[in-house]
Amino acid sequence: MAESFAFEMAAKVSEKLGSAAYERISLAWGVREELEKLKQTLAVNRAVVLYAEQQQARNHELTHWLQKFKDACYEMEDLIDEFEIQALRRQVLQQGSIGKKVR
């Protein structure tokens, strides 16, 4: 189970980036191209991670590299969550200003 953790972590981050909410957010903020590049890079890295997880018993450097990859995935997930929080905050502020105009 621990062997597939990095692969599953990358899949989780990739899934978040592919969601409809992130599609709308990336269009609204003009970062669609950057998020698309990130998704493509992550897809390539997932294939490498799968191979590395299979080979790590023979190469301890791969174990170290996989740990760094897991850490990077955690940081990426935190960044994606922060991005979503900011988008929701912006949406709430816009709705608040619309409510004031209606009153």
Is the pTM above the cut of 0.75?
Answer: no
CB-based burial, 78-98: b 16+ in 10 Å, e otherwise = eebeebeeebeeeeeeeeeee
Tell me the average pLDDT across 28-33: 72
**Is residue 2 very low, low, confident or very high in pLDDT (cuts 50, 70, 90)?**
very low
Residue 82 has pLDDT above 80, yes or no: yes
User: Could you tell me the residue ranges of all domains in the chain?
Assistant: 2-102
Tell me the average pLDDT across 81-96: 81
Residue 102 has pLDDT above 80, yes or no: no
Collapsed DSSP state (helix, strand, coil) of residue 62:
helix
The whole-angstrom separation of Cα 61 and Cα 7 is 17
